[in-house]
Structure 1
């Protein structure tokens, strides 16, 4: 992974004109909940300049692991962000019944979701995220890689915006 870090971190296609933002988060982390709203604001203000790449980093036990698996599995149906919003914006604690209820509410195929959550592919995705977090020294959440800038922990929106704009102003490719 270290030899070809960019695709693992940002996905296969990193475009020169778009600043990738790799976001390492945990559903039960209160700082992640606040940062997630700030990231939504940043992306809404300038959708053409930034691309968010989600990395689930469950660190608070079985409920976190379950929510992370559901999120990664929901991405396979194109509904990761919708599921994440339900989990991040409510006091919901992830348990099998609540995950299935949210999945049903947002129109996911729950049978496919359950199969995907138990799949080796979802496990591999979570393992990759853990390996990336280790490379960047993320021992907690939230963690961000905005272009070339690495941040661990909560930051105010003004700093997030300033770093994002600085990365956007650079003319060279991130990778």
Structure 2
């Protein structure tokens, strides 16, 4: 974790950083109403200019066991290339995550459900959630949502107009952000 303090960029934005994309690290919680609204705004921003922005998801479960289960499912779904589809379904459905509901959503997305359940309990998923918690602590995120857009750190809900303004400002900065 000390490496993360001296160079948080790989953990924050991933190793596939590009010199032509503005990275957006998004810390969210499935039961957070502000995250639900911000999620739609982020989708709009990314759809407007998909070649310019790269979203990196960080699950930050803060509302107890159902949130933890949903976060584990999201991280595990990423291993099957379906994280955003699963997230979209969870964010747009007024459900409390439990194994049966996770299973139903996974089946509708053609995920390998048994592998998903195995991965949800894996050390790798736990390590990713621990890394996210450490990053959130490093950036002072005590709740959700949290964003790091290039060099700009934002905590809490932000309107789409401000999101666009910050994204455009970061786009104008020299690459890379880290």
**TM-score scaled to structure 1, two decimals?**
0.99
The corresponding residue for 1:91 is: 94
How far did residue 172 of structure 1 move?
Answer: 3.3
The corresponding residue for 2:40 is: 37
Runs of 4+ in 1 over 4 A off after TM superposition: none
The corresponding residue for 1:152 is: 155
The corresponding residue for 2:175 is: 172
The corresponding residue for 2:65 is: 62
Query: What SS does the corresponding residue of 2:7 show, helix, strand or coil?
Result: helix
**2-structure distance, mates of 1:114, 1:16:** 36
Q: 2:29 aligns with which of 12, 26, 29?
A: 26
The corresponding residue for 1:139 is: 142
Q: Deviations over 1:92-117 (max 9, x none)?
A: 11011000000001000001001100
Query: What SS does the corresponding residue of 2:8 show, helix, strand or coil?
Result: helix
Root-mean-square deviation (Å): 0.6
The total of aligned residue pairs comes to 175
The corresponding residue for 2:124 is: 121
| Structure 2: tracts of 5 or more residues without a match | none
**TM-score scaled to structure 2, two decimals?**
0.97
How far did residue 3 of structure 1 move?
Answer: 2.1
The corresponding residue for 2:107 is: 104
2:166 paired with 1:163 = yes
